Amino acid sequence: MSAAVIGRLVGAFVISFLILRAMLHTVRRIQHPPTRIIVAYLLSMALAVFLASFNFGVRGALENYGLPITLFACIEMIRSRGTKAPTS
């Protein structure tokens, strides 16, 4: 693996983490935790593909940011398994 590939991968992980956190903060009013994570995941993928498609094209954007965003969303789903939606 060349240094450019490793740098691009690390950059994709950092950017994906920040995008997913921002989207989770944006949809924080959705009460059901799995629904909140799925909506944040879809918004994150749409935003990452839209922004990265200017440089990489749609296929390159999905290759670069698809796996990290999916990985972080899966981690959030595992973390939210123990939490329940608040009842009002």
Mean pLDDT computed over every residue of the chain? 87
Contact of 40 with 27, CB cutoff 8 Å: yes
Structural domain spans, the chain: 13-81
Contact of 37 with 8, CB cutoff 8 Å: no
Give dist(CA 49, CA 45) in Å, integer.
6
- pLDDT tens for residues 19-56? 999 999 999 888 888 899 999 999 999 998 998 888 88
